[in-house]
């Protein structure tokens, strides 16, 4: 990674322009930082601006190879096995917005432009994928001072040296109570804009149907939580902050495809703990849906709930204006 970045920085390798603006939302670490809700927020901004965006992603955890159109303008085509959990989640939340996955992000982006009519590309987890030229790089960071102390892979989870932040145009700080993170990124050579991304539970979904509840639905509820995501501790903390009483937890690796035996064991443990409901993440639901007919009976009659997250970005207008500028429209 370091040698390749040096080659790009020196101009020995050049990123490819694809003829439309590209906004990348990424991070500096392996594992979850709350990046997907920000991708969804960027899509909402672009739609309000009258643009026709498409999302491109590698599609981590999928069983397919090459370029796969997860969704076009009319329907969602692939499930999580073929398209990956996060791309399918985005596609279902934004009907009519194309989502394309591929190991080669350039090929996926060209497919979105040529075949799906996209006039702007949002590259999910695209900060380190430098083959595709970006007009706006937004990097999500959870606790900048902690990031600076984090060892690089494989000793830790940081993907590249802190000086890599110099490539970013905007840093979105998420999930930290630190009062001042500006000095840490400044020491890394970052000179762009800093915004704060605040996550919240917008509503509670039910797996069995399309019913949505207010977040207060979790107040005092005895829940058994399980997930296969990059930051399970933050998920469990969000549930407790929403008032849920967690009577048990199970954590699996990121993008984990649950076996039927694992789901039966989760249901048995939940019953034994006196749970009123099972609860998982929206991303995990996308993987469960790939085998819905077989999955639902495994929960032993317990309802399966999942929080739907939303984000706000402060100060208002800063990131929106950067998006409008690169998209070539009036914000």
Cβ distance 140 to 174 under 8 Å?
yes
Phi-psi sector, 274: left (phi>0), alpha (psi -120 to 50), beta:
left
Residue 24: in which H helix or E strand, if any? strand 22-27
**Neighbouring-strand partners of residue 309:** 201
pLDDT tens digit sequence for 65-91: 999 999 999 999 999 999 999 999 999
Q: Measured between alpha carbons, how far is 207 from 282 in angstroms, rounded to an integer?
A: 9
Domains of the chain: 2-198+312-327 (3.40.50.300), 208-302 (3.40.50)
Give the span between the Cα atoms of 69 and 59, in whole angstroms. 11
| pTM exceeding the 0.85 threshold for the entire prediction | yes
Average pLDDT over residues 116-129: 94
| 175-232 per-position pLDDT tens digit | 655 544 555 666 677 888 999 999 899 999 999 998 999 999 999 999 999 999 988 9
Write the pLDDT tens digit of every residue in 257-274.
999 999 999 999 999 999
């Amino acid at each position: 990674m370091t040698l390749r970045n040096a080659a790009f920085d020196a101009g020995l390798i050049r990123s490819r322009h694809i003829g439309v603006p590209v906004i990348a939302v990424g991070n500096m670490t392996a594992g979850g930082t709350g990046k997907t809700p920000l991708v969804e927020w960027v899509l909402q901004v672009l739609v309000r601006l009258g643009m026709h965006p498409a999302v491109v992603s590698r599609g981590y955890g999928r069983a397919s190879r090459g370029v796969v159109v997860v969704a076009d303008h009319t329907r969602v085509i692939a499930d999580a096995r073929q398209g990956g959990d996060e791309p399918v989640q985005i596609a279902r939340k934004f009907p009519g917005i194309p989502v394309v996955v591929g190991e080669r992000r350039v090929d996926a982006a060209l497919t979105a432009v040529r075949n799906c009519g996209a006039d702007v590309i949002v590259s999910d987890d695209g900060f380190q994928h430098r083959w595709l030229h970006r007009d706006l790089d937004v990097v999500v960071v959870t606790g900048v001072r902690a990031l600076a102390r984090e060892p690089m892979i494989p000793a830790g989870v940081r993907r590249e040296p802190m000086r890599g932040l110099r490539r970013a145009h905007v840093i979105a700080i998420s999930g930290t109570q630190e009062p001042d993170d500006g000095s840490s990124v400044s020491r890394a050579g970052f000179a762009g804009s800093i915004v704060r991304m605040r996550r919240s539970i917008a509503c509670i979904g039910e797996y069995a149907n399309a019913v949505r509840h207010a977040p207060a639905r979790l107040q005092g509820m005895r829940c058994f939580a399980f997930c296969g995501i990059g930051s399970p501790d933050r998920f469990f903390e969000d549930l407790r902050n929403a008032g849920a009483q967690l009577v048990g937890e199970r954590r699996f690796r990121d993008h984990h495809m649950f076996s039927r035996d694992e789901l039966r064991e989760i249901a048995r443990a939940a019953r034994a703990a006196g749970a009123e409901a099972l609860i998982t993440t929206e991303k995990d639901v996308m993987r469960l849906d790939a085998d819905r007919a077989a999955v639902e009976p495994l929960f032993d009659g317990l309802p399966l709930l999942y929080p739907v997250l939303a984000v706000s970005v402060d100060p208002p207008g800063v990131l929106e204006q950067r998006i409008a500028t690169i998209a070539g429209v009036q914000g």
